């Protein structure tokens, strides 16, 4: 397996060096930072930490696609800048992909906070993957390059590119796996907005998508006048 790790960034100077170091422990062929024109020196810090840096227009779908185009591996692992995996994750991916029917998957989360509500969130998110085959980007999506390219990559939208990708996989009947990981997730967005409020907002966005509202229009509701960070 030739693993390429792609990390989209937008003003992540505070943590990008540490996250690249953690990504390199998985021994990928490269770590690609797909930067959305950060203004805080993220790109320079990423290069100094050993990553390849590509720059694109802002928007996670565009950035992830730009990173994938620059990558050379036959398996992509897309990581949000506030998430990191322990070293055994690479072996878990390789073992899962020994089954030719599996095209990708994601990881069980460990939200790095002690409040009991986060353990419930972890369980609920894992159940969503097992029963609905719908991992989100903060669960660390990995996918065979051949499958990713067959569907044309991520939709280049401001929001919910991960949901749209998984919808494409489901329509094709492709199999994904939930791996034990864990993937560590920074709790910053839940602490900022509140767990219940953040969860209700996510459900509202999903309902809007099902009703046919475009992801770009939904992004205005989620975060007016800005590019949406990790959900």
Using 50, 70 and 90 to split pLDDT, how confident is the model at 189? confident
Question: pTM of the prediction?
Answer: 0.89
The answer to whether residues 148 and 221 touch, using CB atoms and an 8 Å cutoff, is: no
Q: Mean pLDDT across the stretch 205-228?
A: 69
H or E element in which residue 66 lies: helix 60-70
> What kind of architecture, by CATH, is found in domain 3-188?
Alpha-Beta Complex (3.90)
Share of the chain above pLDDT 90, in %: 76
pLDDT reading at 230 higher than 60:
no
**φ/ψ of residue 119, rounded to 5:** -70, -35
Predicted local distance difference test score (pLDDT) of residue 16: 96
pLDDT grade for 229, boundaries at 50, 70 and 90: very low
Measured N-to-C along each axis, helices 161-171 and 60-70 cross at an angle, to the nearest 10 degrees, of 70
> pLDDT class for 223, splitting at 50, 70, 90?
low
- Which one, of 18, 14, 9, lies nearest residue 55 by Cα? 9
């Amino acid at each position: 397996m030739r693993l390429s790790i792609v990390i989209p960034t937008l003003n992540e100077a505070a943590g990008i060096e540490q996250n690249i170091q953690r990504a390199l422990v998985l021994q990928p062929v490269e770590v690609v930072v797909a930067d959305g024109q950060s203004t805080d020196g993220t790109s320079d810090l990423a290069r100094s930490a050993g990553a390849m840096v590509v720059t694109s227009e802002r928007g996670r779908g565009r950035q992830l696609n730009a990173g994938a185009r620059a990558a050379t591996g036959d398996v992509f692992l897309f990581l949000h800048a506030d998430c990191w995996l322990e070293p055994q994750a690479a072996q878990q991916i390789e073992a899962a992909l020994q089954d030719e029917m599996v095209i990708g998957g994601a990881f069980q989360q460990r939200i790095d906070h002690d409040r009991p509500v986060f353990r419930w969130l972890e369980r609920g998110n894992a159940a969503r993957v097992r029963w609905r085959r719908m991992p989100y980007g903060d669960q660390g999506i990995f996918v065979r390059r051949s499958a990713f390219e067959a569907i044309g990559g991520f939709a280049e939208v401001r929001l919910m590119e991960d949901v749209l990708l998984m919808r494409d996989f489901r329509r094709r009947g492709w199999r994904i796996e939930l791996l034990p990981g864990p993937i560590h997730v920074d709790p910053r967005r839940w602490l900022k907005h509140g767990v219940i409020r953040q969860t209700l907002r996510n459900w509202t966005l999903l309902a809007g998508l099902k009703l046919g509202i475009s992801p770009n229009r939904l992004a205005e509701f989620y975060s007016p006048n800005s590019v949406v960070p990790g959900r």
